[in-house]
Amino acid sequence: MKQEMIHRDPDDFPIGEEILRMSGITKVYGNGVLANENVNFSVKKGEIHAIMGENGAGKSTLMKILFGNEQPDRGEICFKGRTQTIESPKKAVELGIGMVYQHFNLAESLTVAENIVVGQEPGRGILFRQKSAYDAVEELARKYAFDIDPKSRVRDLSVGKKQKVEILKILYRNSELIILDEPTAVLTPQETEELFHQLLLLKQNGYTIIFISHKINEVKTICDRMTIIRAGKTRGTYEISELSANDISVLMVGRDVVQKIEKPAAKPGKTVLSARDLRYRNEHGAVMLDGVSFDLRQGEILGVAGVEGSGQRELAEAVSGMLRPEGGAVYLDGREITGKTPGEVRALGFSHIHEDRMTYGVAKNVSITENLIANRCASPELGGKAFFDGKKTSALAQKLVEEYQIVCKTPSVPAGMLSGGNIQKVVVAREMSVEPQVLLANQPTRGIDVGAVEFIHERLIRDSREKGCAVLLISSDLNEVLEMSDSLLVMYKGHISGYFADVSALTEQELGLYMLGLKRQSEQELKEALHEKV
Amino acid sequence: MKKFKLDFNLIRTLIAIGIALLLALIIILLTSDEPWAAFGYFIAGPLRNPKRFANVIEAMLPLVFTGLSVSIIARTGVFNLASEGSLFIGGAVAALCGVLLPLPSVISPVVILLIGGLAGMLALLIPTLLRVKWNANEIVSSLMLNYVLYYLGTFLIRTFVRDPDSGYLQSTAFHAEADLPVIIPGTRIHAGAAVALICVVALYLFLFRSRLGYKIRMVGENPKFSFYSGIPYALSIFAAQAVAGFVCGLGGATEMLGMFDCYKWTGLPGYGWDGIIVATLARNNPAWVPLGAFFLAYMRVGADIMTRMTDVQNEVVSIIQGVVIILLVAESFLAGWKKRRTFKEATEGVQLEGGAKA
Ligand SMILES: Nc1ncnc2c1ncn2[C@@H]1O[C@H](COP(=O)(O)OP(=O)(O)O)[C@@H](O)[C@H]1O
Ligand SMILES: [Mg+2]
């Protein structure tokens, strides 16, 4: 198989000229969501151009259209002065466009170099190929200050490193326009700084970067211009210096700056959920839980922070009964629940907002109503022993749809027809309305619009304060854990690297150090997380 | 939006049938000397006299049972293809009982139908058990099981109730008390029709109103979602297969007692396979199963009439069946049309689910 590297000189197009223009883009998804409506967008060669907009505004959709993952229903794309139909990512790559998705796209069991050169292997012979691939990748990495070993397996890399692999992949393919879809969402403050340094280096070398974010301070730091999208429509393109932070947020959200949520002080009661020395290895033998212990008390919100993949998912599954730990024990209200099924754990007053709402959180083809009763299969309030009472289930659904502000025509619409934020509200409504003793909220607001985020945050606080619900809040969004938690655990490589009884005294920078494993508390300090002798 | 979806599926089914009929017409035109007469017999033959129409109803009864059974199985997402054998063993066991059990009338058919149902239920549970116990692929095991059940059934008939005077394998006559009486004089439509109707209603309620039916549907829709929600997987799958098997066995027993006075089947009757077609037509909804069964039975009877009256062979039916099924299971058939409808609805701004809807 003969495959030449595409040789494209990034300097063949003058800096400052319009390299990309997307005009009149309209996109309707199969479920009827109008994600982009007549969007006009243009980028100049050599700039870092921000696309800002709250979650669900349609930023990713616009970029997927540009990269050929989705086809627009209307509109035109003009790249380097020529109108193009980008029918697939392959075409986009040929044109010189590269994209790092919000969720990475790497072969976990291959090495860094293999992932980078896949589809564009240099040379012919296998041996030769391997060696020159490593060399080529090493050289690229050196040039742009990426600290990464081409021979390591992607599976063993941190999220931040995986992102670097994605960027190197794009550079290797000689793309000149680089799209980064919310690259900082998964990074610690320290990693973000490093990324910014590299992006500026790339800019100096003539690359054009589209940088998607909804964090105003980040955009102010590195971008030249920005385009704001709200509810699928563009709200204009501006020089960064033109707008104040407040202006930006008004344009993004359509109303004044989001106020901070009011959070009364917690009055923790007795311990309701305890984990002791939980241990678990995944199917590749990697240690995911390495002696995790903590206590969760009534009326408190205990946050769990950490870089994604530090064992949070396994912790969530171990306490909810979805996974049996190899060692250690979980207690709910004094009773041991290790190894019980999710159904049995739920029956003891446990609720669980799963991090993956599309695969676990809902059944997409089933009505909202039927999604709302999944954890009430045995509830005597919904009918007789054998049959559901249709009137009662409809009434319940109607009530929850109103109470949780789920925007839908009727509750008999399939859940998959809703937008991300509304699907999440379905999950939240189902899990919170049973008034659980313990609520596990795993990434409860990931990828949803500000309105829905605020709503869910308020409900979490209200239920913990007024109903004494004990909330275990797992989140990789630093702002969320810092704002919402009363006390906080930090996970690093499957163990707890820090416990902070009072979160208000903790800074984002300090938290970043614990997340990266640069700091770790002593055994004695970590004992603070245990309030109970079990 | 749900209404639109329902409409879409119905229209899609109708268009698929239309295309298949058109194809049949073309084939008939190409091969027959009297194509229009042939097509006329095929399309309208069953309507031309009440007796033939009754034939359609008779032919559709077993299809209703297997269609229901396959609908339930398909809902679980576990592909157990033992409906054929399950119906067969239900019929064979009913035949055994019909000859061997001296019971008073009325009680006799009721008891025999129940026994047939139980036999079918046990049969259909075997692949599921093998799956759970030894992780045996249920597609393979259930396909094989059909033959095992066939030979088991004929073995039982041969050993215990064979009519020694007959050249073929057939049983001695059933007790007269075991007969399912004809309910429409002048036809062979028997009390099994009422049983089928009850099953349709019962299974509809079971699937869409009962708690167990809900669990079965959720497990099939999204196993991960049900696991996480605490819906018991194995229990739901077992319950679904048990119900499906019972319906199959019941169907076999009904057919045996209603249409025959002794065991006469010379092979697997094929109703289980037809059940897959019926369930596909009915989109696995018990309420639509009678319609799907009627359609298939009508086509079969129409083709029979055509074959008897003209020079066209009834293979035409198989072509129609095949085309309809392929069009129905092809996800993208008419998807473009659906997409345009969706686009229109969304941009007309009926209810925009935009981002910032606080
Ligand atoms: N594949 C898809 N199918 C259906 N709806 C989608 C799909 N992807 C995104 N959406 C919906 O389109 C809207 C815009 O989503 P997206 O472009 O991902 O927003 P953003 O990246 O700005 O957060 C949301 O309401 C989202 O739920
Ligand atoms: Mg996005």
Question: Residue A242 pLDDT > 60, yes or no?
Answer: yes
Instruction: Flag whether B51 is in a domain.
Output: no
> In Å, what is the CA distance from A203 to each residue of A16, A200, A207, B179, B342?
12, 5, 5, 88, 41
| A154-188 confidence digits (pLDDT tens) | 888 888 889 999 999 998 888 999 999 989 887 88
Question: Residue A10 pLDDT > 60, yes or no?
Answer: no
Instruction: Flag whether B338 is in a domain.
Output: no
Which of A33, A34, A38, A407 is the mutation pick for testing B, counting most B CBs within 10 A? A34
Residues A208 and A326 in one domain: no
- Nearest-Cα distance to chain B for A378, in Å, is 8
The sign of the torsion formed by the CA atoms of A273, A446, A518, A312 equals positive
**Which residues of chain A from 410 to 469 reach within 8 Å of chain B, CB to CB?**
410, 412-414, 417-419, 421-422, 449-452, 454
Q: Which of A298-302, A431-435, B323-327, B330-334 has the lowest mean pLDDT?
A: B330-334
Residues A327 and A227 in one domain: no
Instruction: Flag whether B83 is in a domain.
Output: yes
Instruction: Flag whether B105 is in a domain.
Output: yes
| Pocket mutation for ligand 1, best pick of A29, A182, A234, A413 (most atoms within 8 Å of C-beta) | A29
Instruction: Flag whether A3 is in a domain.
Output: no
**Burial status of residue A302 (CB atoms within 10 A of its CB: 0-12, 13-18, 19 or more):** buried
Name residues with Cβ closer than 5 Å to ligand 2, which is an ion: A 60
Spatial separation of the C-alpha atoms in residues A114 and A152, rounded to whole Å: 10
Residues A231 and A83 in one domain: yes
Higher-confidence residue of B5 and B295: namely B295
- Please count the other Cβ atoms lying within 10 Å of the Cβ belonging to residue B51: 11
Question: Residue B181 pLDDT > 90, yes or no?
Answer: no
**ipTM of the complex, rounded to two decimals:** 0.85
Question: Residue A529 pLDDT > 70, yes or no?
Answer: yes
Spatial separation of the C-alpha atoms in residues A19 and A213, rounded to whole Å: 21
How confident is the model at residue B356, as a pLDDT? 35
| B291-300 confidence digits (pLDDT tens) | 999 988 998 8
Residues A221 and A323 in one domain: no
Nearest ligand 1 atom, CA A64: 17
Residues A289 and A143 in one domain: no
Q: Which of A127-131, A504-508, B87-91, B174-178 has the lowest mean pLDDT?
A: A127-131
CB B263 within 8 A of CB B274: no
Q: Which of A97-106, B27-36, B327-336 has the lowest mean pLDDT?
A: B327-336
Tokens found for residue B105: 């009338």
Alpha helices in B260-288 (DSSP H): 271-281
CB A503 within 8 A of CB A483: no
Question: CB distance B353–A28 less than 8 Å?
Answer: no
Residue pointed to by tokens 């064992």:
A311
Average pLDDT over residues A523-527: 88
Question: Residue A221 pLDDT > 60, yes or no?
Answer: yes
Residues A143 and A99 in one domain: yes
For B187, phi then psi, to 5°, come to -125, -175
Closest CA to A459 of A471, A447, A449, A448: A471
> In Å, what is the CA distance from A53 to each residue of A48, A250, B49?
16, 11, 69
Residues A102 and A194 in one domain: yes
| B249-260 confidence digits (pLDDT tens) | 999 999 999 998
Crossing angle for the helix pair B2-31 and B35-44, nearest 10 degrees?
140
Across all residues in chain A, what is the average pLDDT?
Answer: 89
CB A515 within 8 A of CB A188: yes
Tokens found for residue B330: 């092809």
How confident is the model at residue A498, as a pLDDT? 94
Instruction: Flag whether A534 is in a domain.
Output: no
How confident is the model at residue A478, as a pLDDT? 86
> In Å, what is the CA distance from A210 to each residue of A36, A84, B320?
17, 19, 54
Tokens found for residue B224: 């991960």
CB B219 within 8 A of CB B128: no
Q: Which of A195-199, B43-47, B320-324 has the lowest mean pLDDT?
A: B320-324
Question: Residue A524 pLDDT > 80, yes or no?
Answer: yes
* Structural domain range at position B190: 62-283
| A389-430 confidence digits (pLDDT tens) | 999 999 999 999 999 999 888 899 999 888 888 999 999 999
| A133-147 confidence digits (pLDDT tens) | 788 888 888 888 888
CATH number, position A329: 3.40.50.300
Q: What's the A228 CA to ligand 2 centre distance in angstroms? A: 14
State what percent of residues in chain A have pLDDT above 90: 58
State what percent of residues in chain B have pLDDT above 90: 43
Instruction: Flag whether A262 is in a domain.
Output: no
Instruction: Flag whether A146 is in a domain.
Output: yes
Question: Residue A282 pLDDT > 70, yes or no?
Answer: yes
> In Å, what is the CA distance from B52 to each residue of A241, B45, B290, B301, B320?
84, 8, 18, 8, 21
Displacement of CA A304 from its chain's centroid (Å): 15
- Please count the other Cβ atoms lying within 10 Å of the Cβ belonging to residue A285: 6
Residues A240 and A124 in one domain: yes
Average pLDDT over residues B62-79: 93
3-state secondary structure A322-340: CCCCCEEEEEECCEECCCC
Total domain count, chain B: 1
Q: Which of A346-355, B170-179, B276-285 has the lowest mean pLDDT?
A: B170-179
| A36-88 confidence digits (pLDDT tens) | 999 999 999 999 999 998 888 899 999 999 999 999 999 999 999 999 999 99
Instruction: Flag whether A165 is in a domain.
Output: yes
CB A468 within 8 A of CB A269: yes
Total domain count, chain A: 2
* Structural domain range at position A141: 18-253
